[in-house]
Each structure stands twice: as C-alpha cells, then as structure tokens.
Structure 1
Amino acid sequence: MTSTQELLDSLLEHKASINVASSQVKNQALAAMADQLEAQADAILAGNALDIAAAQGKISPVMQDRLLLTRERIADMAAGIRALLDLPDPVGLVLEERVREDGLQIQKRSIPFGLIGMIYESRPNVTSDAAALAIKSGNAVILRGGKEAFNSAQAIVKALKTGLEQAGVHPGVLELVQDTSRASAQELMTAKGKIDLLVPRGGAGLIQAVVEQATVPVIETGTGLCHVYIDQQVDLEMAVALAVNAKTSRPSVCNAAEVLLVHQDIAADFLPAFEAALADKVELRADASAQPYLQAAIPAGSQDFDTEFLDYIMAVKVLPSLEAAISHINHHSSGHSEAIVTTDSQAADLFTLLVDSAAVYVNASTRFTDGGEFGLGCELGISTQKMHARGPMGLREMTTYKYVISGQGQTR
C-alpha cells in the first residue's frame, strides 16, 4: 500500500502539468474521465456492492441510500463532469487591472491553488465531483474518503485516472489515500508546505476536527441545519408542497430542511395540512407551541432545534412574528440554507436582508443549494464561512490570484 506521504510527494512532482494545462487539455481530460466512469460502471458497482454489504446493520437505511450507487447515479456523476466542459476556464482571468500615472501596469490574475486536499465521508459521488473540479481549475488533488465508501471510491478513481491518461494528462495529478484511519486524515491536516488548500466535507464532528487541528489552510463546509419558515401571508398549497419537498425529497443530504417554523396566525391552517401531506413519513418533534395543531407529533427535546437529523425527522415550532423567526434562525442555524414561504414582498425582503446564511430562499425549496442546480457544474461542498468562498463551491472558488506587474524600467 502506497503511504499518504508517498502520494503527496508524487502529487508535488506532477502537479505542475495540470497547474499550467490549457483549457483544451483540461476539457479533453474531463470528457475522457466522464466516458470512463460510464465505461467502468460494472467495476464501480461491484466496489459499491462491497461497501453496501459491509454497511448492513452499521448505518441507517437513509445513510445507506447516500452510499448506494446505481447506473443512473453513475450516469449523473458523468453528466456532472460533462457540465464543466461548457463552463469558462477559471484560470488566467484578469480580475482587476489598473495603470499608474508612470505607466506601470498592475494586473490581478486568477491562478490554481496548486494541490488541493479533500477529506470526506460516505458519498461516492464526491470522489468524481472533487476530481473533476480540481482538473478544470488546474489543481492536483488528493482525496481521503471514509472507510464506508472506500471500495466505491477506489473504483471511481481508477476510472478517472484511466481517462486522464487517455487524454495525455499524467494520472499522478489525482490520488486516493489508501489508509482510511485517523492517522491519514491527520497527515493531510498537517501537510504544511505540500497541500495548498484542504476542504472537509461531512458531519459536524469531521468538520470541527479538521478546522481545529489543521495547520494547512482550510475552507469550512458546514453542516446543513436548514430552516423553512411559513409566514402569516402565504399560499397554503404552495407552502405545504415546498415544506414537504425540503424535508422528504432526500433527507440524508445537507440541503434538506431540519426545522419548520410557522407563524402563529397560519399555524391552525398550515400544520394539519402539512402533517396530512407527510402521510406518517416523517417524525415531527414539536415544542409546546406547535403540539396543539398536530395529531401525531412527539414533544421536542432540548437539542432537536440544534440537530442535523439527516433522516425522516423534523423539529417544529410556532412563533409570534417574522422577527422571531429570523432571530431563531440566526441563533440556531449552521448558516447553510433557509427559506421563507410568503406572499408578502416586504416580509421576503426583510428575511433575505437579515437572515445570515449562505443561501436564502423566497418561495422555493432549500433542496436547490447545490453546485449543479446553481449552474456551477458539480461542487466541492457548501461553504458556510465568509472568507474566500460562501455557498456552493464551484470552479471559481478553487482558484486564488496573484498580482502581475509590468513596466518599462520604472523605479521607486
């Protein structure tokens, strides 16, 4: 087994080939990578079957669905890579330019980070998404997935490296860490001078550990404690449909809603209709304010309004005003995605102005916080911090910049 340090050294040796690659070369590589994902689908599914078998009795059915690959999901992964082909190259852009009075020209140009590291958990599609975004943005990348998805990731990376080689790009610009112990994660977190940017993607424990322990630069991708607020002035049918979709369309992902807040003036109409539409599919955990309007809810616990359930569970609260809802969200949210459902434009404006999260929705499901849905191709993660990147991290967020100054002999 190749050690993590050996992989890092190999990546440093080969990263220049992708850091300076042309748009044409990078796009050819992406096209071949997508083709190979589909061509090697049988091998990828076989690896995934090993992971699914090992997960039985160890993770919930909802999380098993997150781990599961099908031919359709592999096709979607390939489509996500191909979507990057039509996006402009984020490298080499002149972001700012000025010419001084003495003729000195100053340009701010976008460049790749160099070598990006990714630590993530049990979603196999993250493997292909991260690799494709890295290649398009001119970065080498080292991936460290969780042990639950190791066989899937191994097969995916093998296919992607075949595509790179077919396109004439050294396959050594993409590597998967072979050791899934905590030691390998620690090696990446402390690879100062080797890794230029580290991105954790997973549960709160993983992200907190990386943020606290890393000595390399980190972009924090937050957990998804997402809220839907139903305002007093609302289209009831639309409100029910949006809240149901935000919770149930795929509860194991970070943009699924975990908390439902309802204005007291609409609660008697909305909550019974919402509960009926769920058809016993979701366990509602209601505080005292919401219990009178629900038939089958259980009392909310002390942590339920601060928990990312990633399951068919939702905390419910009734509030006296829009301002109270905004205050609750800003106090409890992880800063990911929040939605207001309302027909009052002033309420919508106040919500979008004051809610301090990366994505704020008016009359739409939180489930759209996604790189593909935002037109960014695939994504590296959802950043909930405020420096460099916020929200879905696409190609532009995988570049930094430098200043290039041109003169004709100017001295100071």
Structure 2
Amino acid sequence: MEYHRLVWVLFVFVLFMHDGWGQTDRRQRQREKQQRRLAELSRATTSFGVSLYRQLASRNQENIVFSPLSIYTALSMTMLGTYGETKNQLKRVLSLRPRQGVHRALNAVFASFPRSPAANVTLRLANAVYYDDADVVLHDGFTRGLRRHYGAYPKAFERPNPETPINDWVLRQTGGKIEDFLNPGDITSDTVIMLLNAVFFQGTWKDIFDERYTREGDFTTTSGDVVSVPMMSRDGSYSVKAVGDGIPARVLELPYGSDDRFAMFILLPDEANGLRELEGRLSSQVLEEAVTNMPEQYRYQVRMPKFNMRTKMLLKDTLEAMGLTRFFKDADLTRMVRQSNRGPLSVDSVIHEAVLEVDEKGTRAAAVTAIGVSAVSLPPQFAVTHPFLIVLRDKKASINLFMARVNDPSSE
C-alpha cells in the first residue's frame, strides 16, 4: 500500500514538474518571438526613416526635422484597412518582410514607453481616428485592429468645424508644442476619415550644459555662409567614434536621464562642406552601425548650438516617389470601410509637422502625422440616354465620312 502511494506521489510530482517546464519553455519561446519582432521593427523603421530622409534632403538645403516613428505608425494604421496591391506597396515602402507582425511589434514598443516621467525623460505616443459617421461605416475588423494595436477609438467629425477638436487633441498630445495643426477648411466636405499619430518627447541631458558657458559662436552653413549662433559648451566624458564605412565623419552620443535608454546622436562630417557626401552615402546599415556599439567614454569638450526647429510638410509627393503610387491614386481600402454613401475612397493627403528644441537642459520634440481619406470626386457625366447624332469624320482631311441620327437604338 505504501509502495503504491509513493508511486502515485512521484507520478503527480513528475506531471507537475513537466507542466512547469512546459510553461517555462512556452514563455521563453514567446520572449524570443517578441525579441525577433522588435528586431525586425527596428530594421524596418530605420530603413524607412533613411529612405524618407534621403528623399527630403535631395530637394533642398533647408533644415529638416521629422519623426520617422510618427509617419511609420500612421501608415501602419492605414495599412489595417488596405488590400491587394495597395497593401503590398505599403509593405515595400515600410520595409516589411513576409509575415512580419508589424502591428503587434509597434504595440509592444508603445507599451514599453515610460507611462509617467521617469529618469528625467517623458515620452508619449497617441493615435486617433476621426470619421464622417453620416457617410461611411467603418469595417469592424479595421476598428478592432485600431483599438487592439494602436489604442485608437474612432470618433465622429464635429461639423461644421471638424478641425477644432483635432487641433485640441494635437495640442494636448504634443505638450502644447504644435498649435493649429490643421487650418480651417483642411477637412473638406469630401474628407471622410482622418488618421492621426502624435509623439512627444522631453528629455533632460544626463550631463546638463551650464548656461554660463553659452557664448555666441560662428557656424558655417552648407552654402559656406558664416552665421553667429549661441553655442553651448561643456567639458566632460562622452562617447565618440568614426561613423564607419570609410565615411569622413564622427558620431557623438549625448545621453538623456539616468537609465541609458534615450540619447541624441550627432553625425558630424569632418569637413565643413561634407554633409552632402554623408547624406549621399547614408544607408540604413550605415546609420545602424553608427549609433550602436559606442565605445568607452573619454574626456571631450563639446560645443554645439542651441536651436529651435520646426517643419511642416505635405508628404504625398515624397511618398509617391518612394513607391506609394496606388496609395494615392487607386487605393484599395475595402478593409477600412464597410459602407460608403459617397462612392469610392482615396488617400488624398499625408501631413506631418515636427518641432525640435535643444538647449542647455535637454531636448523637447513633438510631431504629428495626419492621413486624410476622401471620397473620390466623380467626373461630370455624359449620359447618352436620348436621341442623338453621329458624325464619323476624317479629321486629317476634314471630311465627314458618315453621319447618322439615332432615335431608337433598339430598332435596326
């Protein structure tokens, strides 16, 4: 009797331990799968950001500031409602590989952001969708995906001034840095859906620059002009290395806070006129290698300008040049809208605004991206529904070969 009881106890123990081991293995596999997703997302967003930067930089020599994450997220949200070649083009432009779980990966990244100010860093990301509930019924799968992955709960436009509540939302989400994002009339009578993403970042330098050492200094622009700007200065320990790949430039890391998660990297050409070469040779691989595996810190005197930058841009032409042709001209949005009283829909605008402020204490940055979906305006009709004349003409010879009157097309 005692023997059988002992065997039973050992059997239950083995079952319990096996189940525990199985759960441990499953958790480990889930962690590894999540890590692969995040690594793929890092690769994809870096590739997208570099491609977008190169497109923007090729157009002029002006200042540029934008949030790759904001634009990437807004396009990924839109992709939830696309199908066919439209979706395939988005995947290519977003550098997605087959079966890459981009929505889950983005959701995991959002969840990892600090929920409240910690380590002297604040980071907020929010998504929203507004739509015309009188003209369209959103697809259930689309709204579920928005809620599940992006925390976006669609809201109806507040006509006749739908821009006002959206601007209020943008102002709140960007810490008051972006005001009047939309102008009156930006949401037209044809606009039926607007998807938005907003990002706000505020970080205090790990080692603050002393304002007493900020002095006016010379800065040579791309055109060769020399301008006077307030230059911050600090003597301390910093990590610096060559950009790599034979590119004549160095990279400086400026960390924020105390947990070593966030940092600003400055890629500085060796020559005053070397930015064009750096941009020309910039790739996702070059950038990734430049901002990873930074070496041990050494003592440097860092001098850099304090500045405020703001850029607002319409990205339709830029994204078309990157490959999103169907996205704007013949988008398949069948997974976004279940019913439309306005006929076919099309993406007609991608608006992005970003601001970057750098001073002795740290950095404040905000960005917002809006993707507008409108009803396609149908061309005027020429409906041949009553008797008509026909002229069959040789235009070159200016001779009418045939003429006819059609009074009853059903009669021979």
Q: Which category of TM-score, normalised to the shorter sequence, fits these structures? A: under 0.3
Structure in which a larger fraction of residues adopt strand: 2
TM-score (norm 2): 0.23
TM-score (norm 1): 0.23
